[in-house]
Amino acid sequence: MPDLMARRWSRLARHATRPRLTAFAAGLCIAAGQAPLGLWPVALLGLALAAHVWVGAQGARQAAFLGWLIGFAHFLFALNWIVNPFLVEPWRHGWMIPFALFLMAGGLALFWALAFCMAKILKSGLSGRAAVWGVAELARGHVFTGFPWAMPGYIWIDTPVAQLAALIGPYGLTMLGFAFAALLVFAAQRRSVRLAGLSLVLFALVWAGGAYREAQPLPEKTGHNIRVVQPNAPQHLKWDPDYIPVFYNRALELTKGVGEAPADLVIWPETSVAAPLYAAGPYLEEIAQTAAPARAIVGLNRVDGMQGYNSAVLLDETGQVVETYDKHHLVPFGEYMPLPGLLERIGLRAFTAKNGYGYSAGRGPHLFDTGGLGHALPLICYEAIFPRDLRTQERPDWLLQMTNDAWFGGFSGPQQSLVQARFRAIETGLPMVRAANTGVSALVDARGGVIAQIPLGRSGAFTEALPSALPETPYARLGELSVWVMLTLLVIGGWGTARLTRDRKTD
């Protein structure tokens, strides 16, 4: 009798554990599609495993837990770079590493848990589940200002499928991946070779459509050269008084562009000038003289009364500031603290502001008139992960991201940041210039192709002709409207397949 009970318990434990292991493995596989690994076939397998786990879930509660476990594994692996800001001053912030990593992964996974739960309650079928999962990702990109990092749609960046972002954006690509994986699972369930073949044909058509767009010639370059400077200032030394002049002089030397073609505009990255704007006059004059006859755009802090801003300024040939932009989409807990009075009492302060208490938000997007190079839309670091932050009343001629990815370490964070910048170019049909403190600085064409780049962790500069823009894309015009249309079609298809399955079971 005890042996029989032991065998039954073992069997029960095995059956109870297997979905959890599958769910965790599915999350890891999905994360493997993110940069720097970029293993999109493995990520697609993970999405199929996630659909399989959802099908086997016994009720909404188990579906929610398994969805949370998939999301937890995904975000734990994909967002491992989140620990790096705490290592800049480990004696002060190191104790927060496990809380940051596990709470971040667990909190973001709640969106996936809700998606799995609601799809089960609504009995929406597999494609309907893909739609609900897509809604969860939309919510993740907007709730509490949003954090759409590591979207499953980004797995397609080095494939022709990424070109569909010009039509449906990254949220639509995320839903497309979910739907394709769900269709394969449905075909396997029904043991339908025909349905599996249809799935592959649809995928091939999407791939071919993207390849056709990639093959179209790009418009001729503008004929105006941009020089991007990457001083490579490690974060733990960036504000050290002994090293500030080292990094500044290095950037000045790179600005000269010895042996390179003359530049019309020189760009330094985020907070590359250590002095705040009110005290930076001599430095800005020296930068302008070194860059002349080119203009220059540099990143620095700006103080107005009791408020501080993370800013970018456009200088004329004399060093006078002719345009100023203040970052308006700030990083929670990084650049400002929600409930600052309460959190200050337990020793929590913002990381990136030198005084520890955070920045103020600017008024919103602002275009820089760069003369012969047209109008640029400056984005400071975090702002480039939000497609909605690129929508302005007047369409810019090109995008400019100034960033300090030294906060992200050397693995995954900077590479994922570059992928998101490339997607912003595809979505808008605009070239992207990316100036990063430690890398990866890059020049990206209007279809997301990298024309030039400076490797991570190296100082350097490149001078290249600014690519021209493509016509405005449907996604840039319509925003998420195309995503909602796609979502509606998936829901209708999901209800149809769910009803078909129930009818066949009844027969």
Q: Supply the residues annotated as catalytic.
A: 270, 327, 381
Give the residue from 434, 426, 440 showing the smallest Cα distance to 472. Answer: 426
Residue 109 CA to residue 231 CA, distance in Å, equals: 37
Task: Say whether 309 sits in a helix, a strand or coil.
Answer: strand
- Residue count (the chain): 507
Q: What backbone torsions phi and psi does residue 203 show, to the nearest 5 degrees?
A: -65, -40
HEC string of 55-112? HHCCCHHHHHHHHHHHHHHHHHHHCHHHHHHHHHCHHHHHHHHHHHHHHHHHHHHHHH
Q: What backbone torsions phi and psi does residue 200 show, to the nearest 5 degrees?
A: -70, -35
Give the residue from 323, 312, 267, 274 showing the smallest Cα distance to 291. Answer: 267
Contacts 24+ apart (CB under 8 A), 315-323: 315/284, 315/287, 315/288, 315/291, 316/288, 317/288, 317/292, 317/293, 318/285, 318/288, 319/281, 319/284, 319/285, 319/286, 319/287, 319/288, 319/289, 320/284, 321/277, 321/284, 323/366, 323/368, 323/369
Residue 66 CA to residue 74 CA, distance in Å, equals: 12
21-49 b/e (C-beta count within 10 Å ≥ 16 → b): ebbbbbbbbbbbbbbebbebebbbbbbbb
Q: Are 429 and 470 in contact (CB under 8 A)?
A: yes
Q: Are 390 and 427 in contact (CB under 8 A)?
A: yes
Give the residue from 416, 437, 425, 415 showing the smallest Cα distance to 267. Answer: 437
**Among the residues of 363-462, which ranges form H helices?**
413-428
Q: What residues contact 128, with CB distance under 8 A and at least 6 apart?
A: 119, 122, 490, 491, 493, 494, 495, 497, 498
Residue 483 CA to residue 178 CA, distance in Å, equals: 13
Sign of the C-alpha dihedral computed for residues 237, 417, 387 and 443 taken in this order:
positive
Q: Among all chains, which residue has been given the structure tokens 């302005």?
A: 392
- The residue type at 69: L
**How many CA atoms lie less than 13 Å away from 260 in the CB half-sphere?**
22
